[in-house]
Structure 1
Amino acid sequence: MMNQLIEFSINHWEMVAVFFAILITLIFVERKGGAQGVTPSTATNMMNTQDALVVDIRTEKEFNAGHITGALNIPATKMKESLHRLEKYKDTPIILVCKSGITAGPSAKDLKKEGFGKVYKMQGGIAEWQSSNLPLVKG
């Protein structure tokens, strides 16, 4: 297996170089100004001990199909015009939840730019929450 990987890397060094360039860029972009990721268990702990606010950035239809108890639904596409709904939570930990943990980053950066200091994103999103057998409410 290792010999095949080395042989592939030698024969296709251009693809390997591009892969590593993209990987390094992705890591750099995620770390720069991005929100810290939290696991569902850490998120639950933050909700219970720090009164963290969960903001679900999925569409209203996805939100109504199942969401975390007490979550506020602000779709990512409407985040900038809905910031007034979050003003009173500027000093509260805010946990952003999306479908799979990938799209919460840009919304987190928007909130940080607006002065929200404690912004987190749920690793794995609502899919990870469900796979951890944690409850969802409908409607």
Structure 2
Amino acid sequence: MNFLTQIDNLALIALMLVTGTALFLPTLSTLISGKGLSPTEATIWINRRKAAVIDLRPEGEFKAGHLPGAKYVPSNEIATRIEKLKLDRKNPLILVCETGASSRKAVAEVQKLGFAEVATLDGGVQAWQAAALPLVK
């Protein structure tokens, strides 16, 4: 009986560790790669928090359709081009690409430029379109 109790306790401890790890992984991902926003959260940031939107996709894709108010900045020129936009570093900044992968890579570089709060659009423009939100040409 005592042996079975120890096995039950070990199983509970293992379950607790697995659950804790599963809960912490999204937080760890956010700490490493910046905050990811759903299309709804991005809309709230844009409308209520005056977030600037930077589109890192190739120029042709940007011209074909982009988020309302987005500014085009090539991902390989992000440091120099953001400086020219003269954005308020106190306001949030949302980085956008096609799927969210390229924008996550640019977060650290933008944070080094002194922006207090930088986020990416999870799923990128594809997620924006999937949420039936408008693109501007």
Per the alignment, residue 97 of structure 1 pairs with 96
Q: CA deviation at 1:78?
A: 1.2
How many equivalent residue pairs? 113
Percent sequence identity over aligned pairs: 34
Mark the runs of 5 or more structure 1 residues left unpaired by the alignment.
Answer: 1-26
1: CA distance between counterparts of 2:122 and 2:81?
23
Q: CA deviation at 1:86?
A: 4.2
Mark the runs of 5 or more structure 2 residues left unpaired by the alignment.
Answer: 1-25
**Structure number, greater radius of gyration:** 2
TM-score, scaled to structure 1: 0.74
- SS of the residue 2:36 aligns to: strand
2: CA distance between counterparts of 1:67 and 1:76?
15
Per the alignment, residue 79 of structure 1 pairs with 78
Aligned pairs for 1:1-139 within 5 A: 30-138=29-137
Task: Tell me the amino acid that sits aligned with residue 94 of structure 1.
Answer: L
Q: Pairwise CA RMSD of aligned residues?
A: 2.0
- SS of the residue 1:106 aligns to: helix
Distance 1:69 1:55, change over 3 A: same
Task: Tell me the amino acid that sits aligned with residue 96 of structure 1.
Answer: L
